[in-house]
Amino acid sequence: MKSSKGLSRITAIGAAGITLLLLSIVGCLAVGSVHMPFGEITRILLHHIPGLQDLFPPTWEDASAQIMMKVRLPRVMLALFVGASLGTAGAAFQGVLRNPLADPYTLGVSSGASVGAAVLITFNLQLALFGQWSIPIVAFVTAVMTLLVVLLMARHSGKMAIETLILSGVVVNAFLGACVSFMVSMSKQTVNDILYWTMGSLALRGWQYVLIIAPYFLITFIILCAYARPLNLLSLGERQAAHLGLHVERTKWIVLLTATLVTAGAVSVSGVIGFVGLVVPHMLRLMIGPDYRLLMPMSAIGGAIYVMWADTIARSILAPTEIPLGVVTAFVGAPFFAYLLIRNKKKQRLG
């Protein structure tokens, strides 16, 4: 089915993506208050890969290894998985909803999670229920509950019309957004914790978070990639896809549910990081085309790279003050996206 030309193109794009990802990991690890050279970072990383310990004996100071393995690497890895989750989810949402404005938060996941987090913060219960996991667990649960409410609202005689689904999402987002704003306005703090949570952050999370989100991301990622071909068919329209033998409603349910779960996972550990899930799939579509077999994995890689660099900027540019991550993703992403749109418009006029 794929021509050899198509196959070599896929290999080239995939290799470029993975190379960029690895370079970004090393690059983001290098930035921080303590200077570390690239060579040293690479050697420390390779030293920790099983089987390679002997090839890369420790020639570095113990303090460097400590900073890297305990502080910087978990944060960069968390950024990687959060970004990959949002990128994949964004591609999936745009595939099913076939709306250019669709993103992982369209169906209310972010506001659902925010309400959960805001309630805990307002009543000072951040550590009350499950210790440090209170906010992530509650945010995850309220996010999933919100999704179920939206899906039930949009369901009509066993089918979900896309327009109704998006409108239900808008309604629920507006309502829950108002709840969060109310709690923010009632709070007496000058620097508001709720507001900060809704702008996203990866500070002070540590390895446990990575170890929870990594397998969770991988499972949902595999499911979404397996739906790449059905998503291609869906872009022809639901009826066309049905005539080609696709279970349209089942596909929509599974993809929306999986994409929402992966989003809820990311949001519950990092807060609301906007713009990634909207812009990364769009950018990639402009660069590599609309085929979800390529777009889905590349959106994961693209989202990972995007959030890793955004977080590096967020923690370093005004160090020791941290800028909220959601601010950086939008601040950098919007102009870049605008540039790509303009370039594409020019190309179309010439071509």
Partner 1 sequence: MKRMSSLQQHGWVHPDQDRAQAACPHALQISHIHHAYGSRAILQDLSFQVKNGEWVGIIGPNGSGKSTLLSLLSRAERLQSGHIEVYNKPIEAYKRKELSQLMAVLQQEALPSLPFSVREVVEMGRFPHQSWFGGEKQDSTALVDHIMEQLELTQLAEQPLEQLSGGQRQRAALGKLMAQSPSLVLLDEPTTYLDIHHQVQFMDVISEWQQDCGLTVVSVLHDLNLAALYCDRILVLHQGQLVADGAPEDIMTSQILSDVFETRTVIVPHPEVAKPQVLICTDKQ
CB of 350 to partner 1, least distance (A): 13
The residue among 6 and 206 lying less far from partner 1, judged by its C-beta, is 6
CB of 349 to partner 1, least distance (A): 12
CB of 302 to partner 1, least distance (A): 17
The residue among 247 and 343 lying less far from partner 1, judged by its C-beta, is 247
Asked whether 220 and 261 are in contact (CB, 8 A), the reply is yes
Coil, strand or helix: which one is 159?
strand
CB of 162 to partner 1, least distance (A): 13
**Of 192, 170, 163, the residue nearest 180 (C-alpha):** 192
The residue among 85 and 220 lying less far from partner 1, judged by its C-beta, is 220
Integer angstrom CA distances of residue 79 from 22, 112, 289: 13, 22, 26
Joined tokens for residue 200: 């996203």
The residue among 191 and 350 lying less far from partner 1, judged by its C-beta, is 350
CB of 229 to partner 1, least distance (A): 6
The residue among 64 and 235 lying less far from partner 1, judged by its C-beta, is 235
Joined tokens for residue 348: 């179309």
Cα–Cα distance for residue pair 141/56, rounded to 1 Å: 44
Surface-to-core class of residue 62, CB atoms within 10 Å of its CB (0-12 exposed, 13-18 middle, 19+ buried) = exposed
Joined tokens for residue 288: 């590599």
The residue among 209 and 292 lying less far from partner 1, judged by its C-beta, is 292
Interface contacts to partner 1, rule CB under 8 A: 1, 3, 226, 229, 232-233, 235-237, 239-240, 242-247, 285, 289-291, 293
CB of 233 to partner 1, least distance (A): 6
The residue among 3 and 185 lying less far from partner 1, judged by its C-beta, is 3
DSSP string, 62-129: HHHHHIIIIIIHHHHHHHHHHHHHHHHHHHHHHHHH--TT--TTTTSHHHHHHHHHHHHHHTT-TTTT
CB of 247 to partner 1, least distance (A): 6
**Of 45, 18, 75, 48, the residue nearest 305 (C-alpha):** 18
DSSP annotation of 271 reads: -
Asked whether 332 and 83 are in contact (CB, 8 A), the reply is no
CB of 20 to partner 1, least distance (A): 23
Coil, strand or helix: which one is 5?
helix
The residue among 35 and 239 lying less far from partner 1, judged by its C-beta, is 239
Torsions phi, psi for 93 (to 5 deg): -60, -45
